[in-house]
Structure 1
Amino acid sequence: MAEFFQQTFCIDYNGWVTGVSKAPPPKQIDFDSQTIPQLIYTKADMDRVAAVFDAEKQSLTFSKIVSEMESLAAGFLSIGLKQGDRVLVAGSNHSQVMLCALACSRAGLVFSLANPNYSNSYSLKRALELGEFQCIVCFRAHQFEADHLNNLLLEISPELMRSRKGQLKSELLPKLTHVILAEEEHKHAGTFTLSEVFLKSSKDKIAKLPDFSKWSSHKLACLQFTLGTTGAPKLIALSHYQMLNGARAVAAAFGINDKHVLACALPIFRIAIFNLICLSPFLTECRIVFPDATPLPKNLFSSVSKYKCTTLLSNGAALRLLLKISQTQRVKLSALENILLIGDRVSKEVLKLIKLQAENVGYLLTETGSIPLMGDQNSDFTRNVGKPIAGYEAHLIPLDGSENQVETGKLGKLLIRVYYGSTFMGYAPDTKGKEKWVDTGDIARMDENGAIEVVASEEDLIYDKNNCLVEHWNLERLLNQNDLIKGVQVVSRGRGQPVTAVCVARSTQFHAAKLKDELKSMCRSHHFVAPDVFAFVDDFPRVHTKIQKFRIRAMLESGQISVF
């Protein structure tokens, strides 16, 4: 069925909506200028099911979502939050997570969606500090016990135990005043439950909600954390205009309509996923299905079958595992028409599995990292990320920062122009930026057709003792073909420092010296300059499956990783 698609679309993790169009990008995009509440209210009287949360056994109609949004918005303001306050919603694919985000928008609050699985109190404290949040809504962290987030908050602010609800005075987090727990059976001192917040609402309070018709569509709506693969996560500021037009661009160009049923196997705490999945029903009257609150739902295929889903959102790594499970269970994905692969390049193995298990599937993907690019079915998905879609532009500048033009096939720094009609609002705490072009931090090359290959992060570039660029990505591709290792990352601690290949052996019973010699021999036989030194580790540091090279460099610097 892929041959019938004129356009292919995909979304990356930082809020950009991406795709490819046969037409050149127009100078202006003629989309309505709305705020999120204005969009939601367009379906206020519709009783058709908009969203299904299978694990919760809950179906929400459009009108139900509107009424729940209003009640929670009034509740937020009733417990002392004020317009412009910032709310961190830490949760996965739960119905109340979606409603919290919509309610914040309705109340004039700024929301941020986050993974609830904070590994320690330091990372949670940093997030709350960086965003200067007045409120946190805590949902179940599925990798930990039910009270995990509350326990981390108590480590940071023991004052919570002695505080009245909504009146937290924390020495380390002076901005934070409100803590809301979504787990109803776990009540703690100084915290609201989400039910309590709902019950603070009334018809009179709903009637007194802010008049959103007076808001600018360029008003700050969301602060969203970057992945943190190349450094500590940053907070990106997004307006109503950027979020709505991003979702609208994909929905309109991809042809999503009221006949589509979208199954989501990705977390909505990634803002691009939230934008497409949670706003598309109000743009197109399609239906969305969440098989489970966890990002890798075990009951995915039963939900796809039960609700006759036509489109599946996943990523390459998750889909590879899920397709293998379906293969052993002899499941045919006959109802699916499209699979949208988001956030990763795709391996050849996954492409073969897709064709084997779901013959009528068109597939899409993008490289993680604020890049509004995409490829169609003729693209080499194992290498390229595609071309800019209508509404965005891409440009390469020389690595040395000069004003020369980057030649076709040569490396350059990738710049992206934000959505037409808007400016990049910046990173928190400064959210008043006016730049139209954003430095993505990626190094890329462009072919004669305009397709872009992202090869590395600028932070990960390696220069040898002669100040020559080492194309470490080619070294990694070569060494990763060795059957004795599961993975390799080539890094350096700085200019002129030794080029280091950090490897994960496939077997725990390996001879390091012999494996090192074999890898060096492999480099010589393929006419590559071998790394100066080697190291072997059990695994690489990661965030959401993405390898963090900056942490590998830090571990080498501190001596946590030994080289030879």
Structure 2
Amino acid sequence: MTTSTDTGMTWPRYDQPDDLAAIEATPLADRGLPGTSYELLRRAAEQWPERTALTVLPDAASWRTPEDRTYAELLADVHQAANALHRLGIRRHDTVALLSTNCDELLTALLAAQLAGIVTPVNPALARDHVAELIRRSGARVVVTASPELDAEAFATSAALAEEGLVDHVLVLRPTAAGVTEADLPKAGNATVTYLADAAADCPRERFLGEPPAVADLASFFHTGGTTGAPKLAAHTHANEIADAWTIAANSLLDENSVVFAALPLFHVNALVVTLLAPLFRGQRVVWAGPLGYRDIALYGEFWRIVEHYRIATMSGVPTVYAVLATVPVGEADISSMRGAVVGASALPEGVRTSFETATGITLLEGYGLTEATCASVRSFLDVRRPGSVGQRMPYQHIRIVDAATGAELPAGQTGAILISGPTVFPGYVEGRDENGYQISGQGKIVDGWLDTGDLGHLDEDGFLYLTGRAKDLIIRGGHNIDPQVIEDALLSHPAVTDAQAVGQPDQRAGEVPVAYVTVGNDMVSEADLLAWASEHVGEKAAAPKAVRILDALPITAVGKPYKLPLRADATRRVLAKALIDVDGVEEIRADADSGTVTVTVTLRTRAVEAEVAGRLGDFAVPCRIVTLEGA
């Protein structure tokens, strides 16, 4: 069964797992897809010129007075901004960095940067030196940034980049619905600093004056997240983005009248692919939250009224978003337009699913993907429940489960490394740029077209995927592999535990032993209580944690995913400090995760104990460096 829209594009039925085979009976190359994000936008503007494309809220409190733009207006704005970038020297293989919280003009800037060159969206909350490293690696000489009143820290970082000579032009975005302001912008080194709207004011709106992109051209560089170590830059082609966006748009639950809610930051691939590009395929309206997105506490109090007012059909968020929404009364708001809500980025606790669905009547649809496969690779279905599964592979992408040691493919039901192939697999990471162009490497993650996701899981007999953890997070105790999720699930079953992460702690005999870190919602529970609970509820004796530590918050990456490296560093520091507790002369023991691995530095006050310290550290399989204070 297929349906057609006024684009002339035929949409297959895609709301059941059995639809997959019928969809793939038609090769992707025969579906007549646009080749690039620009072709996609231009076609949408030609088909639905007067239809509202974007509704952008200035902030949560101002949801009744948004900025609206039609598809024709969006295309004209993108032409104008792309021509401004072209005039600044941006060509097909040049990059434009974006460093801003979400706003109306940022949507234009992103699409314009992909038209004129390559876009590199960067999280403005990253450490300034990490932002600088990403800018260097991308080769961007133009940065589009928030104005001081929109995001003072983002503007300050962009100004610092200019002061250091890393960028030549700083183009500034005004807050949504701010209107024209005459405020003078601060100077920043020798760089030009001006509002993007002013730089583009006299540029043509009817067409792009430069060379438009081709299907195989690079479209974007997205960083993969990180909190301490500098993130990697993953390269995406236009073909990658179009293929993924089409499979998302093909969802039969939605049609051209469906309204999408967007609140994830635009440095996240989900925001680009799911809530910007995919709606262009069907002429859907997207309602964008204010600059803080889901971080705006006021948004939750207004959320169900927003759903009712705009007749929101779907949304995309992380589990914590739905955990909060489950506590917000729907009241008398009519939210019957919401067909389903998509959740991803991290594991969905069953308690969050149950509380949200019970409170709202809205089904949560899990998905799975990663930046290295553009965005989405697996989806679930409204009427097909597979408890514990994140869903079925999406059309034209393929999944294999292999033995991590031998590479042999494993049968259904057996856990191994998850590999993905297909048109969404990225070409590699950006390592730099020279006179021959960008240096892009798969860094060993892609072999014969198959991407090693770094995740562990298994497929059932029907091809549904079940995630069990990260390969690098495996705890290896005396040669025995321990899946940390076993420990985490046991602790999450305790009524006071709100989050849990298990990691390996160095051990003299076993190499590693498991320990766990948790957050709790009840300060009456103790670490000893939770350790006893884990010992009783972890089914495998070897997997029972040796310690459970309560923290105020568990570390996450810049895009909201669990980040265990700092916990491994903490566990390492603790065990080495205990091993050296009686050595007089130890000044400091520091375990850092900046390099992407845990490195230990032991500082001594005197060289007299150096041999003894080295001997004790040698009992642990941990890279250590010993330094002595100057003058000792």
Q: TM-score range by the shorter chain?
A: 0.7 to 0.9
TM-score (norm 1): 0.82
Instruction: Identify the residue that residue 545 of structure 1 maps to in structure 2.
Output: 560
2:381 aligned partner? 376
Identify which of 500, 512, 515 aligns with 1:497. 512
How do 1:20-59 and structure 2 match up within 5 A?
21=20, 23=22, 25-26=24-25, 28-29=27-28, 30-31=30-31, 32-45=33-46, 46-55=49-58, 57-59=66-68
Name the residue aligned to 1:415.
419
Aligned to 1:99: 108
Distance in 1 (CA, whole Å) between partners of 2:223 and 2:236 is 11
What is the CA distance between 1:505 and its match in structure 2?
A: 4.7
- Change over 3 Å in CA distance of 1:415–1:63 after alignment to 2: same
- Calculate percent identity across the aligned residue pairs: 18
Q: Are the structure 2 counterparts of residues 254 and 464 from structure 1 closer, same or farther at C-alpha, using a change threshold of 3 Å?
A: same
**In the alignment, structure 1 residue 64 sits paired with structure 2 residue 73:** yes
The amino acid of 1:365's aligned partner reads E
Measure the CA separation in 2 of the matches of 1:202 and 1:529: 64
Selected match of 1:453 from 461, 466, 471: 466
**Does the CA-based 8 Å contact 2:514-2:543 persist in structure 1?**
no
Q: Which residue of structure 1 aligns with residue 172 of structure 2?
A: 181
* Aligned partner letter, 1:431: I
Give the match's secondary structure for 2:90. Answer: coil
RCO higher in structure (CA 8 A, sep ≥6): 1
Pair 444,230 (structure 1): closer, same or farther in 2 beyond 3 Å: farther
Contact 1:261 1:308 survives alignment (8 Å): yes
- What is the distance in 2 between the residues matched to 1:228 and 1:255? 34
CA gap of 1:484–1:353, structure 2 versus 1, over 3 A, is closer
Offset at residue 33 of structure 1 (A): 4.5
Q: C-alpha distance in 1, partners of 2:568/2:350? A: 30
For 1:114 and 1:541, locate their aligned partners in 2 and report how far apart those are by CA, in whole Å. Answer: 20
* Number of the residue aligned with 1:216: 214
Query: Matched residues in 2 for 1:61 and 1:311: separation?
Result: 20
* The 10-residue stretch of structure 1 (224-233 or 61-70) with the greater mean CA deviation from structure 2: 224-233
The answer to whether the 8 A contact 1:134-1:177 is kept is: yes
> Do structure 1's residue 312 and structure 2's residue 315 form an aligned pair?
yes
**1:100-249 equivalent positions in 2, closer than 5 A:** 100-107=109-116, 109-118=117-126, 120-139=127-146, 146-153=151-158, 156-157=160-161, 160=163, 170=165, 173=166, 176-183=167-174, 185=183, 187-190=185-188, 191-199=193-201, 201-203=202-204, 209-212=209-212, 215-228=213-226, 232-249=230-247
Could you list the structure 1 runs, at least 4 aligned residues long, displaced by more than 6 angstroms after superposition. Answer: 560-564
1:90-130 deviation digits (Å, cap 9, x = unpaired)? 234321111001111222x1002233333x32232232233
1:553–1:26 Cα change, 3 Å: farther
Q: Shift of the alpha carbon at 1:535?
A: 3.6
2:342–2:366 contact (8 Å) kept in structure 1: yes
Q: 1:75 aligns with which of 73, 76, 84?
A: 84
Q: 2:505 and 2:285 mapped to 1: Cα distance?
A: 49
Whole-angstrom CA distance in 1 between matches of 2:145 and 2:240 = 27
Q: 1:208 to 1:375 in 2, by over 3 A?
A: closer
Taking the TM superposition and a 5 Å limit, the aligned residue runs for 1:521-560 are 521-523=535-537, 529-543=543-557, 544-559=559-574
Give secondary structure in 1 for the equivalent of 2:513. coil
Tell me how far apart the structure 1 counterparts of residues 363 and 518 of structure 2 sit (CA, whole Å). Answer: 35
For the pair shown, which has the larger CA radius of gyration, 1 or 2? 2
What residue number does 1:336 align with? 338
Task: Confirm or deny: 8 A CA contact 1:418 1:438 kept in the other structure.
Answer: no
The range that moved more, 181-190 or 231-240, is 181-190
CA contact 1:220–1:240 (8 Å) conserved in 2: yes
Q: Determine the C-alpha separation between the residues in 2 that align with 1:300 and 1:563.
A: 49
Cα distance change on mapping 1:554 and 1:368 into 2, 3 Å? farther
Between the aligned partners of 1:246 and 1:314, the Cα distance in structure 2 is 18
Identify the structure with the greater strand proportion.
Answer: 2
CA displacement at 1:76 relative to structure 2:
1.4
Runs of at least 5 residues in structure 1 that lack an aligned partner in the other structure: 10-17, 161-168
Task: Please state whether the residue corresponding to 2:428 is helix, strand or coil.
Answer: coil
Aligned residue type for 2:468:
V
Give 1:52 shift.
Answer: 0.9
1:215-247 CA distance string (max 9 Å, x none): 430110111112338975221111111212211
Aligned partner (choices 301, 305, 316) of residue 302 of structure 1: 305
CA deviation string 1:495-553 (max 9, x = no partner): 712322233354556654x3365246425788564223444433221124322111211
Further displaced range: 275-284 or 407-416: 275-284
Q: Distance in 2 between matches of 1:252 and 1:503?
A: 39
Select 1:87's aligned residue among 82, 87, 96.
96
1:368 is displaced (CA, Å) by 5.0
Cα separation, 1, equivalents of 2:225 and 2:208: 38
Deviation at 1:487, TM superposition (A): 3.3
C-alpha distance in structure 2 between counterparts of 1:98 and 1:127, whole Å: 21
Q: Secondary structure at the match of 2:119?
A: strand
Secondary structure of the residue aligned to 2:234 is: strand
Q: Which one of 447, 471, 475 corresponds to residue 487 of structure 2?
A: 475
How far the C-alpha of 1:248 sits from its partner, in A, is 1.6
Separation in 1, partners of 2:108, 2:473: 39
Give the residue type in structure 2 aligned to 1:114: V
For 2:532, the equivalent position in structure 1 comes to 518
Please give the secondary structure, in 1, of the residue aligned with 2:511. Answer: coil
Residues 33 and 391 (structure 1), Cα distance of their counterparts in 2 relative to 1, 3 Å cut:
same
Q: Would you say the 8 A contact 2:491–2:533 is kept in 1?
A: yes
User: Equivalent residue of 1:98, what SS?
Assistant: helix
Residue in 2 that maps onto 1:166: none
Name the structure 1 match of 2:273: 275
How many Å separate the matches in 1 of 2:154 and 2:137?
A: 18
- 1:295-339 deviations in Å (ceiling 9; x for gaps): 213433222222222333333321231242134x45341222232
Please tell me whether the aligned partners of residues 39 and 283 of structure 1 are also in contact (alpha carbons under 8 angstroms). Answer: yes
What is the aligned residue count?
523
Q: Which amino acid aligns with 1:222?
A: S
